Amino acid sequence: MSRSEDNSDIRRLLPDQAEFPAELRAIPDPPCELYVRGAVPPAPRVAVVGSRRADEYGLALARRMGEGLAAAGVCVVSGGAGGVDTAALQGCLEAGGRAVAVLGTGVDVTYPARNRKLFERVAQRGALLSEYPPGTEGRPEHFPRRNRLVSGLSLGVVVVQAARESGSLITAREAARQGRLVMAVPGPAGHELSAGVHDLLRRGARLVESAPEALHELGLARPGEAAQERLPLTEPPPDLSPEERGLLEAIGEVEHSIDALTQHSGLPSGKVAALLFRLELLGLVSQKPGQRYARTGRSTG
């Protein structure tokens, strides 16, 4: 952790002040006070949360989610932790959007310390927010408690990669308790970081794979604009090898890099590259910008 030496720009907000977010006055366990660096952007706001241990697949999804929400004029809210939280905030800011990082420390304490520059950008484009006074170091009990503020500020919460014990599931439970919409991005079957997300989906969370889909679920899509329709996936021929079929299943319906597919499939990277080349020749996979691979869709016309 690291601390800022200049706290002159930190403001203390009480519930009866106009700048205190109205949404947080109405949650079941409202904060008695808030400390803010920057200014909380107006609604709509959507939270993007997930595992601190996210892999390349999860980080890319979170970044794209942040970018897409920002491009639609939506403020991105997250917890400022490493992994998914950081990637979502970075994507939002890189797209020129506004963000809020809700911290489990004082707003003058940077945790993780490597996020110092990111937090400075968040404060310039939105706000750092905490119910803990300046100088408060992070304690284990602080971070689960701050999650109710992440969800409380937001219309809905998108969970990207979460193990069964992930703190982001606390945010999802708080969102449900507060009447917010819970959304989850599915991951590869059997992957540890998919387990918590898939449990949420089994319990009724909305399945989303992109920012347009999240906006559609929240009723924030522009009039006449629906979530992007996905073409049915091209059916593989029956003579595919087990490794080729396994790789297609690992790709699923989102884009992946070779590194991510290597991790998910358990195959050597050279083998994955050779299999992808064969699947490209069969018209089952296409290469996207940035050397990312996706399943192809068959025409419905």
The reported pLDDT for the residue numbered 182 is: 97
Domain boundaries, the chain: 2-217, 242-295
Average pLDDT value for the chain: 89
CB 171 within 8 A of CB 149: no
CB 134 within 8 A of CB 10: yes
| Helices of type H across 164-268 | 168-177, 195-202, 211-217, 242-251, 258-265
Q: Give the pLDDT band (50/70/90) at residue 300.
A: very low
Match domain 242-295 to its CATH number in 3.10.20.70, 3.30.60.50, 1.10.10.10, 1.10.3720.10. Answer: 1.10.10.10
Instruction: Give the CA count within 13 Å in the CB-facing half-sphere of 1.
Output: 15
Residue 58 clears pLDDT 90, i.e. is over it: yes
Cα torsion angle, 133, 138, 144, 150, sign = positive
Residue 45 clears pLDDT 80, i.e. is over it: yes
CA pair distance 92, 71, nearest whole angstrom: 8
Specify which residues 288 forms β-bridges with: 292
Phi, psi at residue 51, to the nearest 5°? -70, 140
pLDDT digits (tens, 9 = 90+) for 189-226: 889 999 999 999 999 999 998 999 999 999 987 644 44
> Model pTM?
0.75
The reported pLDDT for the residue numbered 227 is: 42
Amino acid identity, position 276: L
267 or 178, higher pLDDT: 178
Helix (H) or strand (E) holding 256: strand 256-257
The Cα-based distances of 134 to 20, 34, 88, 104, 230 in angstroms read: 17, 10, 25, 11, 47
| High-pLDDT (> 90) share of the chain, % | 65
- The bridge status of strand 109-110 relative to strand 75-78 is unpaired
pLDDT digits (tens, 9 = 90+) for 70-107: 999 999 999 999 999 999 999 999 999 999 999 999 99
Burial letters 249-281, b for 16+ CB under 10 A, else e: ebbbebbbbbebbbbbbebeeeebeebbeebee
The reported pLDDT for the residue numbered 290 is: 63
The reported pLDDT for the residue numbered 224 is: 46
Token pair 């950081």: residue: 86
Match domain 2-217 to its CATH number in 3.20.20.140, 1.10.760.10, 3.40.50.450, 3.40.30.10. Answer: 3.40.50.450
The reported pLDDT for the residue numbered 43 is: 94
The reported pLDDT for the residue numbered 8 is: 79
The reported pLDDT for the residue numbered 55 is: 92
pLDDT digits (tens, 9 = 90+) for 114-159: 999 999 999 999 999 999 999 999 898 999 999 999 999 999 999 9
Vertex 19 angle, CA 16 and 25, to 5°: 50
